[in-house]
Amino acid sequence: MQVKTGLGPRMENRSDISLAEQYAATLDWWRDAGVDQDFGDEATNWLADPEKPKPRAMAASAAEAPQPEAEPAISPETLPTDLAAFREWWVSPDSPLPAAPGPRIAPRGEAGAELMMVVPMPEADDDDTLLSAAQGKLISNIARASGHSTDATYIASALPGHMPLPDWAALGSDGLGNAVRRHVELVKPKRVIVFGSALPALLGHDAAAAPESFTAIGDVPALATFAPDRLLGHARQRARLWNRLLEWTSA
């Protein structure tokens, strides 16, 4: 596959970045994912006298007994099994997808696309078209840099509507990752690019892992990078994505 080098004015055409820049970009990824501390075992005083055994606590009452975890609002068994039905379900106000202040925006593209791109959510000003402003231009440039036209790319979002500061952990517990995985299964793309440091964790990946370790959704090769708004504001991260695209599309 031939990779074009035109990433547009907002993405630098660089063939390599320094080790320090790669390290800094990886730290940015972990911070975005909410992992900003190093965790270890608590210190142990090996010279202290052993503690006396504590008296056994009384059995917890039935009211205090642990309750079974609630079933997620979105489970694989309840999801549509064909793409047309899924797209209708995606924009329906009756679906269990999280509500947002703005409208629900449908994905765009056709099944069997060479490339699928999944962003966290629509842009704030989207009305009828997903990614209709600056983020959409960036996405189009990235698609072209990967050797694909925008028309031949399937563009989707993990949330149907724009939400300020979404709680991704809670959304994951509600089963949003099941919907994203089903969407990919129904589109059947050749490759997937996932934008946003929260999305790999939503799909069951280790949130503390480097983005390079996220390589597939099911049996579809995948690449994870920062959310479009983050890429727009950080040249270093755009440069890193460019290098990873070169490696990914040449594999």
Domain ranges of the chain: 20-32+74-250
Q: What average pLDDT does this structure show over 31-40?
A: 52
Q: Which two tokens stand for residue 150?
A: 């925008």
pLDDT at 58 over 60: no
pLDDT for res 196: 95
pLDDT tens for each residue of 105-144: 999 999 999 999 999 999 999 999 999 999 999 999 999 9
Q: Which fold has domain 20-32+74-250?
A: Uracil-DNA Glycosylase, subunit E (3.40.470)
pLDDT tens for each residue of 179-210: 999 999 999 999 999 999 999 999 999 888 88
pLDDT for res 209: 87
Q: What average pLDDT does this structure show over 15-26?
A: 62
pLDDT tens for each residue of 77-104: 999 999 999 999 999 999 999 999 999 9
pLDDT for res 138: 96
Question: Among all chains, which residue has been given the structure tokens 């597939």?
Answer: 216
Q: What average pLDDT does this structure show over 35-61?
A: 56
pLDDT for res 150: 87
Which spans in the chain are helix H? 19-32, 83-91, 134-145, 168-173, 176-187, 199-202, 228-233, 235-250
Asked if 28 and 237 touch (Cβ cutoff 8 Å), the reply is yes
The 3-state DSSP class for residue 42 equals coil
Q: At residue 225, what are phi and psi to the nearest 5 degrees? A: -145, -175
Concatenating the DSSP letter of every residue in 123-141 gives: -TT-SSSSS-SHHHHHHHH
The enclosing H or E element of 45 equals none
Residue 86, CA distances (Å) to 81, 92, 160 in order: 7, 10, 12
pLDDT at 38 over 70: no
**CB contact set of 203 (below 8 Å; sequence gap of 6+):** 177, 180, 181, 194, 217
pLDDT tens for each residue of 127-186: 999 999 999 999 999 999 889 998 899 999 999 999 999 999 999 999 999 999 999 999
pLDDT for res 174: 96
Confidence of residue 61 (pLDDT cuts 50, 70, 90): low
pTM: 0.75
